[in-house]
Amino acid sequence: MVSKELDIEFNAAVDRVNDYTEPFPADFLLRLYAYYKKATNNYTRPSSRKPIINAFKTNALFQVKDITQDEAKQEYINLVNNYFLYRK
């Protein structure tokens, strides 16, 4: 997939998640979080007020440390598409 097409599809997936009003499962949110941070090259530390949540987020980030930015975008897209496909 061409980088511009990937960016468009990634942004559409982000919008789809942001527009969804029902709660997501915690494990799904952690994977989204990690792929999003990697895809956007955002390396700020997790900033939850609860240390346990920061630990889970940090662990999720460690799990995606060896993938590229484009791979992270594609994985984010795949996660979102699969969630909404099988949610019904």
C-alpha 22: how far from chain center = 17
Residues 17-41 pLDDT 10s: 999 999 999 999 999 999 999 999 9
pLDDT of 3 reads 85
Is the separation of the CB atoms in 38 and 64 below 8 Å?
yes
Tally of domains within the chain:
1
pLDDT of 16 reads 96
- From the list 73, 85, 81, the residue with the least C-alpha distance to 8 is 73
Is the separation of the CB atoms in 9 and 24 below 8 Å?
no
Model-level pTM? 0.90
- Domain residues for the domain of 75 are 3-20+28-86
Instruction: State the CATH number of the domain containing residue 63.
Output: 1.20.80.10
Q: What is the mean pLDDT of each run of 10 residues along the chain (88 residues)?
A: 89 96 94 96 84 91 94 97 85
Pair of tokens at residue 73: 């975008």
Query: Which residues lie below 8 Å from residue 37, measured CB to CB, with a gap of 6+?
Result: 43, 61
